[in-house]
Amino acid sequence: MFTGLVSDIGEVISVETRGSLRRIRIACSYSVESIAVGASIACAGVCLTAVDMGRMGERTWFDVDAAAETLSVTTLKDWIKGCKINLERALKIGDELGGHIVTGHVDGLAELISREDFEGQAKFTMRAPQNLKKFIAQKGSVALEGTSLTVNAVADDVFSVLLIPHTLAVTSWGATQPGDRVHLEVDMMARYAARLAEAG
């Protein structure tokens, strides 16, 4: 489980295909001693398992394996050396829950259709997949690229979020441009509410 509060920006430093798996090595500022084999780390909002780790100069690196299913429903298949991605360590009991509960299980890909920058902030307008639009509500929460954000407005499958200067500075969002696809995880509460409504 995660909170959607990004704690580091990682950099993809190598990608290796191993049969149906893709081994991805990510550099970060976490201490190598703090990462255990089997640890869950949200990488651009995708919960992945650290399978190896080490040091390279001043930076720590960790390896993750992306299976065929993950590659088919995320943008991981497009990651190349140099890609910058949002990272978050798994939530510990007693940690502050500053965002909202995020599982790291991506529901789909949203497309950025416009970006408006002003006063150091940025308004991002997104198009959600048709099957997910019912879970997105004004003032509700969404996780985009692993970032917990509040929905400002919704019209059918189009919704907008506002990123403040701090969020733009400490995440990969500063480089995101119209046409980019981003990982979308809808709010767990919205998912269960919709299911209960369908069940009558």
User: Among all residues, which ones are annotated catalytic?
Assistant: 2, 40, 47, 49, 67, 105, 150
Residue 124 backbone zone (phi > 0: left; psi -120 to 50: alpha; other: beta): beta
Residue 44, SS3 per DSSP: coil
Q: Which of 45, 52, 41, 68 is nearest to 14 (CA)?
A: 52
Neighbours of 130 (CB within 10 A): 10
CA distances from 142 to 128, 139, 189 (A): 11, 10, 11
Place of tokens 């580091």: 8
Quick one: tokens of 157? 């499958």
- What does the DSSP 8-state code read for residue 13? E
Most distant pair of Cα atoms in the chain: their distance: 58
> What distance in Å separates the CA atoms of residue 138 and residue 161, rounded to the nearest whole number?
10
Write down the residue that tokens 């150091």 correspond to. Answer: 120
Q: Is 86 helix (H, G, I), strand (E, B) or coil?
A: strand
